[in-house]
Amino acid sequence: MVSYYGAELEALYAVLRELGVEVIDVAERGGGVTLAQAGLDDVDVCIAVLPPETVADLMAASTVYVEIGVIAARGLPVLIVAPPPQRSLPALSGLPVVSTSMADVGVLRLHVGLFVQSVSENVEWPTEGRPMIVPLGVAAEHRARLREIRGSPSARRGDEFERLVADLLRDAGAHVQTVTDDVLGEATAEVEVDMAAFVPGEELRLGTFLIVVKRGELDAATSRVAQEQLSRRVRQVDVGLGVFVYDRAGPNVEEIRAPMVFSISIDQLMDELEQRPLNELLVEARNRAVHGM
């Protein structure tokens, strides 16, 4: 754990205890550039808490940046937690950033939980943005998979359809992680969130988005209930957007909208991602979803 003197870490420590993570304060191993020689073989990840932009102790702030650089250079995954408001952080470009109040347990649980989960599952954490328009050849492979899924036995379609959506978003440049109950906390029975994701380099502008996937033909009643539940969950954990991806739409489904939820069919999503970057699509979607449009 890298932080500055006086940081409010109680909520973050509580979340890490829930996740079963043992915390070692950076001061136990050294400080500043001395970390370059410190033993870190027993350390798996680094969570670094930035001071507010108004912090008076510039020395403490500079020390945090130095320690982040040293730890990142030694190959450890680093998650940045930055209190809002936070301007762009060019010195930390390439590292995932969470902008949240240090007292917001729900937001910390989601973001830190996803980070720890990805490391424990040996999922590669992106270090820089990637091209975000799906190449035509890759898009054709996704469409072929979709045809195969639609023709497969019903028992297989749900998991296969969810994997297809995740792979499509990854090929469009997103980091996608399956969401477990301990990451989202309470009320997961009401809201079955399938995945969470973010676009590397867009963490401050877009933030994390939650994803719900529905296979088969979707009726209006199911769509309305699912979107309203996702909308509530988005507000509960304070993420940027809820993305509702469905297979086929029944009558009136496309007219249903919920605040902070972007609803789109898998065919429309494929078409969009062949034409423009994922971050552009999501920024426009979020602006519309804020107003339930």
| Per-residue pLDDT tens over the stretch 128-185 | 555 467 887 888 999 999 999 998 887 678 889 999 999 999 999 888 887 765 555 5
- Digit-coded pLDDT (tens) for 76-103: 888 889 887 666 677 777 777 887 888 8
**Overall average pLDDT of the 209-218 stretch:** 90
Instruction: Name the architecture of domain 136-289.
Output: 3-Layer(aba) Sandwich (3.40)
Candidates 223, 25, 209; CA nearest to 111 is 209
Distance CA 223, CA 229 (A): 10
At residue 174, the pLDDT reads: 87
CB 53 within 8 A of CB 89: no
**Mean of all residue pLDDT scores within the chain:** 82
At residue 290, the pLDDT reads: 65
CB 195 within 8 A of CB 210: yes
Reading the block at residue 120, the tokens are 């424990």
Q: Considering only residues 211 and 154, tell me which one the structure prediction assigns the higher pLDDT.
A: 211
**Overall average pLDDT of the 257-275 stretch:** 92
Reading the block at residue 87, the tokens are 């301007």
CB 99 within 8 A of CB 141: no
- Other C-beta atoms lying within 10 Å of the C-beta of residue 175: 21
- Digit-coded pLDDT (tens) for 7-27: 889 999 999 998 889 999 998
Could you tell me how far CA 194 lies from the centroid of its own chain?
12
Domain positions in the chain = 10-120, 136-289
107 confidence band (pLDDT: 50, 70, 90): confident
User: Is residue 124 over pLDDT 70?
Assistant: no
Distance CA 93, CA 290 (A): 28
- Digit-coded pLDDT (tens) for 196-206: 888 876 766 77
User: Which of 71-85, 102-116, 171-185, 277-291 is the least confident region?
Assistant: 171-185
pTM of the model: 0.71
At residue 22, the pLDDT reads: 92
At residue 1, the pLDDT reads: 93
Q: At what angle do helices 105-120 and 10-18 cross, to 10 degrees?
A: 40
User: Is residue 292 over pLDDT 60?
Assistant: no
* Helix residue ranges, H only, the chain: 10-18, 58-73, 105-120, 136-150, 154-171, 181-184, 220-237, 266-275, 278-289
189 confidence band (pLDDT: 50, 70, 90): very low
At residue 187, the pLDDT reads: 45
Give the strand order in the sheet containing 195-198: 175-178, 195-198, 209-218, 241-249, 261-265
Q: What is the 3-state secondary structure (H, E, C) of 115-137?
A: HHHHHHCCCCCCCCCCCCCCCHH
At a CB cut-off of 8 Å and minimum separation 6, what does 245 contact? 165, 211, 212, 213, 214, 264, 265, 266, 269
At residue 10, the pLDDT reads: 93
Count CA atoms within 13 Å of residue 47 on its CB side: 23
CB 244 within 8 A of CB 234: no
Reading the block at residue 209, the tokens are 């988005």
**Overall average pLDDT of the 239-258 stretch:** 84
Distance CA 187, CA 236 (A): 10
Distance CA 278, CA 131 (A): 9
- Digit-coded pLDDT (tens) for 32-43: 888 888 889 999
User: Is residue 224 over pLDDT 60?
Assistant: yes
